[in-house]
Chain A
Amino acid sequence: MEVTLKVFRFNPDVDKKWRYETYKLEADPTDRVLDLLERVKGYTDGSLAFRRSCAHGVCGSDALRINGKNSLACKALVRDYGEKITVEPIMGLKVIKDLIVDMKPFFDNYKKILPFFINDSPLPADGKERRQSIEQRERFDDTTKCILCACCTTSCPSFWASDDYLGPAAMVTAHRFIFDSRDESASERLHILSETSGIARCHTVFNCTMACPREIQITKAIGELKLAMVTGNLE
């Protein structure tokens, strides 16, 4: 099938304003949008800039807005988008070049939430591991799947309005640690979430849940955090 690929282009060294460029390509329905971009870069226009790394939906580098919806280019099959495909950078972050955005505000927000395991208690008597039941591990299993691709955060209208807002990805990480029975910094994280730019900015729009390529139930996780703030229950 012939695919018309419309790509957002912006080179700050040359362009005063962003523009779109259109490429016509032969593609199989099972080709991925990333394959099309690679083909354009390899054979038509080497100046096209985009991020990619593993190309298998694990590294989270190639989050893009494809036909208006955030997705990983390496998981987006041509057959799901049709013959006309528009590829743009994810929204709410400054464009550095073409499809590459400045991820700094995203990771700054991620760091705020203390994205690491905190437990200052002495090790158990046997000196080995901090044990956890299957049920306790299951409690935060969904939010361990996050790959920090930013599809969720950059689909959130609150984040578009201000990159000061923590965003869904940071809250997913907060959920992952707050509900971990071995972690001891739930209180500190809830205090961070309760700040003005924190969880109160979530208006339950559900864009994050729909955008997540890992199918994490993000809005549900944020709802559980809100409930934990009100009830104090971390189970």
Chain B
Amino acid sequence: MKRTLPISKRGLNFETIMWFFTRLSALAMYGFIIIGMIGALVMGARMNMNFADVMRWAFMSNSTHVQSTNIPDIAPWANAFWRLVASGFLLVASAHGVHGLVVIADDYLVKPLQRNVVRLLSIVMLVSIGLIGLYVIWTA
């Protein structure tokens, strides 16, 4: 008889879900970066960009990041698809990073009040980063 526990009996709480999210979001970031790099190559990175420009675009596909390159026409690249890619990367990366900070803080703070304060501040930081980032991506 195969021993398998249903999801309700595994202690699936915030810690476990975020542990899983951290792994998945790391993989997702690799995916976003590969999409960005392929996009940069299609854009003409091989002849018209240096390494720093490629990285800027791969990590955040915002047209203002590659304004100073030799790409003849950047305007078509400021479309909804690339803005969605940039938004996706921003939200996944900030959630991944802020949760990393919470994990480190939890190592040293053992009192529930201290942990809750740090978590509240982290949520405020996450929401702020997200809103500012999305504003920049969609208005640039």
Check A200/B4 contact, CB under 8 A, given A192-B11, A232-B10: no
B115 contacts across to A, CB distance below 8 A:
196
A169 to B13, CA, bound (A): 23
A231 to B107, CA, bound (A): 26
Interface size on B, residues (CB 8 A): 22
A234 contacts across to B, CB distance below 8 A:
3-5
State whether B7 touches A200 (Cβ < 8 A). no
B55 at the interface (CB under 8 A from A): no
A197 contacts across to B, CB distance below 8 A:
110
A164 contacts across to B, CB distance below 8 A:
110
Residue on B with the closest CB to A226?
B19
A162 contacts across to B, CB distance below 8 A:
107-108, 110
* Residues 104-131 of A at the B interface (beta carbon under 8 Å): none
State whether A194 touches B108 (Cβ < 8 A). no
Which secondary structure dominates chain B's binding surface?
helix
B103 at the interface (CB under 8 A from A): yes
Interface residues on A, range: 20 to 34
A201 at the interface (CB under 8 A from B): yes
State whether B20 touches A230 (Cβ < 8 A). yes
A91 contacts across to B, CB distance below 8 A:
none
A58 to B112, CA, bound (A): 39
B12 contacts across to A, CB distance below 8 A:
194, 229
State whether A187 touches B9 (Cβ < 8 A). yes
State whether B15 touches A196 (Cβ < 8 A). yes
0/1 string, A201-235, CB within 8 A of B gives 1: 10100000000000000000000001011111111
B107 contacts across to A, CB distance below 8 A:
157-158, 161-162, 165, 201
State whether A190 touches B15 (Cβ < 8 A). no
Check A194/B103 contact, CB under 8 A, given A232-B4, A234-B4, A235-B3: no
Residue on A with the closest CB to B9?
A187
0/1 string, A172-191, CB within 8 A of B gives 1: 00000000010000110011
State whether B11 touches A233 (Cβ < 8 A). no
0/1 string, B1-32, CB within 8 A of A gives 1: 01111110111110110111000000000000
B106 at the interface (CB under 8 A from A): yes
A-B pairs, 8 with minimum CB distance: A194-B11, A191-B11, A200-B15, A234-B3, A187-B9, A232-B5, A161-B107, A164-B110
Can you identify 8 A-B contacts, CB atoms within 8 angstroms?
A158-B107, A192-B11, A195-B11, A195-B15, A200-B103, A232-B9, A233-B3, A234-B4
Interface residues of B (CB under 8 A from A): 2-7, 9-13, 15-16, 18-20, 103, 106-108, 110, 115
Contacts A161-B108, A192-B11, A232-B7 known; list 14 others, CB within 8 Å: A162-B110, A181-B3, A186-B3, A187-B11, A190-B9, A196-B15, A196-B106, A200-B106, A201-B107, A228-B10, A229-B11, A230-B10, A232-B5, A235-B4
